[in-house]
Amino acid sequence: MLRLKETMSIQFSMKRQLLLTFAATAILLLPFSDVYGQDNSGVYVDPNRSERQFRTNLNVAGNDVESIITNFGTIGRGNESINQAGVWPRGTGHGHLHEMTGFIGTEVNLNRDGVIGNNQVIISDGYRDGGETIDPETGIEWKFQPLPGYLNLGASNVQIANSQNPNSWPDTWPGRDASWNGAWNGFFGLNQFKADQEVFYVMDDAWNREYPYFPDSRDSTRRGVGVQVNVRLFQWSQALAKDILFMQYEVTNTSTTSYTYNMNDNPIFFGGYTDVNPSGAGATDDAAAFNRDDNIVYGWSATGVGLWSQFREIPPGYIGWKFLESPGIADDGIDNDGDGIIDERRDNPAG
């Protein structure tokens, strides 16, 4: 079994302290023999596949960060959510994000029926505003799509399941017994409300038909990289966390293809892509940098002047994003994360 654990974060601030943090916490890549049902890490692998019709969104506002999110992997909806994504401080309409998505990537050989093909990089993500390509056969975007069963379709206002709104919860939860019926399926347990707001949804990349790659030998209609992703978002209003949005991605390989750490043997990657909009001025004043010592990427307005129509006395903040926890390369003889440990990995003695 190959496991990676990733924690990514994004924040904003007035003076380079951060405001919004996204945390992508766990990537689990499992061999196909463990697929469907409860695997030995405790992760439920849903046998259902995603459906575009279950796409929806939610405005999270559990602390000083306010943002529209989707259940297909994005923070923000591009041009559809101007000044609704990465709003800080909450209630001002000062959006600092255009759109953000997590992504899963690999490089594989496009072999079919024993015939060796060309190597191809394949990326599965949810980003919409770069021009979503619609598949000519299915009419569905080559993007993450949500799985059924994780929201209440009977609600008058259908939204992503979240701890603040019991009417957003399904009657029963996939992978849970009857004791969870009508209860919150929380990260911390049954009806545990540790965060001021928690969000939960599941998606996969089965509809990513961009390339003739078939990761699952049992089902040629499942495409993409062949992964299922459990996503949770958390917000706390406590002083040290009030400007942070934590985001956890738990990724399971549900295909029959094995992925590895080896760059020459079906390597697998997790990452994030963010289009900042820190002053409401579009791309005209966007700036970004990477601080290696703090392992953080951050963006800001080069002019420092917001173009919003209200609360203009509040200047644009900084927005930063980072992996809070990320695996190193376990065989390069290098301390990848600067913690004094060489060849570190979660499932080896160094980790």
User: What's the chain look like in SS3?
Assistant: CEEECCEEEEEEECCCCCCCCCCCCEEEECCHHHCCEECCCCCEECCCCCCHHHCCEEEECCCCCEEEEECCCEECCHHHHCCCCCECCCCCCCECEEEEEEEEEEEEECCECCECCCEEEEEEECCCCCCCCECCCCCCECCCEECCCCCCCCCCCCCCCECCEHHHCCCCCCCCCHHHCCCCEECCEECCCCCCEEEEEEEECCCCCCCCCCCCCCCCCCCCCCEEEEEEEEECCCCCCCCEEEEEEEEEECCCCCCECCCCCCEEEEEEEEEECCCCCHHHHEEEEEECCCCEEEEEECCCCCCCCCCCCCCCCEEEEEEEECCCCCCCCCCCCCCCCCCCCCCCCCC
How many residues are listed for the chain in this entry? 351
φ/ψ (deg, to 5) at 283: -90, 0
Pick from 304, 239, 324: nearest CA to 14 = 304
- Rounded to whole angstroms, how far apart are CA atoms 170 and 155? 9
| Tokens read off for 115 | 């015939």
Distance CA 233, CA 226 (A): 23
Residue partners of 49: CB distance under 8 A and separation at least 6: 147, 204, 206, 222
Q: Which residue has the tokens 């800001």?
A: 300
Question: What are the residues whose beta carbons fall under 8 Å from the beta carbon of 246, sequence distance 6 or more?
Answer: 9, 21, 22, 23, 233, 234, 235
Q: Are 212 and 112 in contact (CB under 8 A)?
A: yes
Lookup result for tokens 């900084």: 318
Burial grade of 137 (CB within 10 A; 0-12, 13-18, 19 or more) = exposed
| pLDDT of 271 | 87
Report pLDDT for 120.
Answer: 95
Residues contacting 114, CB < 8 A, separation 6+: none
* pLDDT confidence of residue 296: 82
Beta partners for residue 106, in sequence order: 122, 268
- Per-10-residue mean pLDDT of the chain, 351 residues long, equals 46 47 49 46 86 97 95 91 89 91 92 80 88 86 97 96 98 97 96 97 97 94 95 94 90 91 87 86 84 83 88 89 69 76 69 54
